Amino acid sequence: MKKGRSILEKERFALTIDRLCHQLIENYQDFEDSCIIGIQPRGVLLADRIHQRLTELIKSRPIEYGKLDITFFRDDFRTREAPLKVNSIEMDFLVEGKKVLMIDDVLYTGRTIQAALSALQHYGRPEKVELLSLVDRRFNRHLPIQSDYVGVTVDAIDEAYVKVEWKEVDGADRILLFSDKTD
């Protein structure tokens, strides 16, 4: 893949995550009767950062945090040419009656979130579910799903590709926009 156009670099990337954390504290206060769930695989990278920062800011209580794999809840898992990679599930609590904050890196068609909501039902019936996404591609939705907390909104044509890069995996924190998938 060729070099994409940068949308967000290291400094603004960190500020965006910090801003999202402060918005969450405004609405969840100390996260009592609440939990954070990262959607595997790449939503967990964002959820790890959000959870770490919230833990630094909220010292009054630990925040429940889980990692949810949605592989077998996807509507396309049997139609893919290559087999999908299954990720670990790290959920040692039930969501029954809790406020759940689901986290994913990019909200595109909404199908990942639909699968995550289906998978979440195996852990109880939450009081409320909200969604945080670092990138919202708002004009490409296939389902009526929207983020409650958004880092950055990207208006891009269908052929465009948005990639979130993480220092831990990709060597740098940034968001890139490619004009098409073969770019």
pLDDT value of residue 183: 39
pLDDT value of residue 20: 98
Separation CA 34–CA 13 (nearest Å): 25
Residue 126, token pair as written in the block: 């939450």
First-to-last alpha carbon distance for the chain, in angstroms, is: 6
Residue 129, token pair as written in the block: 């579910």
| Domains delineated in the chain | 10-158 (3.40.50.2020)
Residue 171, token pair as written in the block: 């060597």
- Ordered mean pLDDT values, 10 residues apiece, the chain (183 residues): 82 97 97 97 96 95 95 69 77 96 96 95 96 92 94 85 93 90 47
